[in-house]
Amino acid sequence: MLRDVLAWLGETPWSIALHESLYMWPLTESAHVLTLALFAGTAAVLDLRMLGLALGGVPVSALTGRLLPWTRAAFVVMVVTGLALFYATPLTYYHSLFFRIKVLLLGVAGVNILVFHARTVRGMAAWDHADRPPRAARAAAMISLLAWAGVIVSGRLVAYNWFECAIQPQSAIVNWLQECPVTPP
């Protein structure tokens, strides 16, 4: 079902045009990668502060209030450019093991943000100025750092074709994880 929609999407003229373009695709990809500096970079600065590893003396609320809006704005750019890249070759990404890992880790990062804002932020006034915030805040920061690092690494590895469905034989587990359309011998 989803695969059929993506197969149709990949046949639309704009998808083919983007996929085959000499400059649009690399420029979109460059924007996606360079925006990482603002998005993942500012998120990392906040995480390092919450881990007590950077910017001691700066209240955490100063960063969540004055830094996070930039992180969110950069995330919008990440999503827009990311969707455009996905739109260029939807089926390639659908069957990519690394892309599937990336989506999974995006989910982990998202749930972590929801939990952090629903639970940890509420008591923030008590440890706003602490050089080393409490365990729950440090855990959220560590999960965030690891999840986003994983998103970046798996995103980079999508470009490698080691597990590509078209290159058979692949192990059964790889074919299963990527839903490769292979006919059993």
Binding site for other proteins (CB under 8 A): 26, 29-30, 33-34, 36-45, 48, 54-58, 62-63, 66-67, 70, 148-149, 152-153, 156-157, 160, 162
**183: region left, alpha or beta (phi > 0 left; psi from -120 to 50 alpha):** beta
CB of 152 to other proteins, least distance (A): 6
CB of 6 to other proteins, least distance (A): 25
| Peptide bond preceding 169 in cis form (omega within 30 of 0) | yes
Please identify which residue in the block is written with the tokens 């649009």.
Answer: 24
Closest CB to other proteins among residues 57, 181: 57
Closest CB to other proteins among residues 9, 31: 31
Closest CB to other proteins among residues 54, 126: 54
CB of 34 to other proteins, least distance (A): 6
Closest CB to other proteins among residues 41, 123: 41
Closest CB to other proteins among residues 6, 137: 137
CB of 27 to other proteins, least distance (A): 10
| In contact, 90 and 40? CB cutoff 8 Å | no
How many separate helices (H) and strands (E) can be counted in the chain? Answer: 10, 0
Q: Which of 127, 118, 130, 142 is nearest to 55 (CA)?
A: 130
CB of 13 to other proteins, least distance (A): 24
Distance CA 156, CA 131 (A): 34
In angstroms, what CA-CA distances link 2 with 8, 93, 94? 10, 12, 9
